[in-house]
Structure 1
Amino acid sequence: MPQHVRTMPVCRDCDGFAGVAITTGARDRDGSRTTLRVTCQVCHGTGHALPRRALLVQAGR
């Protein structure tokens, strides 16, 4: 059986889990838990590492 091949590297900050739901511990009026939806600020919710920008290096005197 073939393995899945990732074409883009995984984000280092979120390890590919770009969107998560965090419970606050509080409950709504209907009894369900209050949750916050959070996305990774580095990869903007894609789960993949963005291409690095080229750095300007000055050589010489």
Structure 2
Amino acid sequence: MPQHTPTTPACRDCHGFSTVAITTGTRHRDGTRATLHVTCPACNGTGHTIAAPALIRAGR
């Protein structure tokens, strides 16, 4: 059965993976790793982008 394709294109910077967890290398006292959660600045964490409008000539 064919899969449905999304109607909005994936972000070209994060390819749809809008939020990532990056380990810092340090550990908390209980042994778990300290992580930073970072969102894509291009799509603001949505994973999708709005299609760029067509080039419009303005003026003369």
Count of paired positions: 60
1:18 maps to 18
> CA RMSD for the aligned pairs?
1.9
2:44 is the alignment partner of 1:44: yes
CA contact (8 A) 2:22 2:37 kept: yes
Question: SS of 1:50's equivalent?
Answer: coil
Counterpart Cα distance in 1 of 2:55 and 2:4: 33
What is the TM-score with the length of structure 2 in the denominator? 0.83
Question: Which sections of structure 2, spanning at least 5 residues, go unmatched?
Answer: none
Question: Which sections of structure 1, spanning at least 5 residues, go unmatched?
Answer: none
Following TM superposition, where does structure 1 have runs of at least 4 consecutive aligned residues deviating by more than 4 angstroms?
Answer: 53-56
Within 5 Å, give how 1:4-15 maps onto structure 2: 4-15=4-15
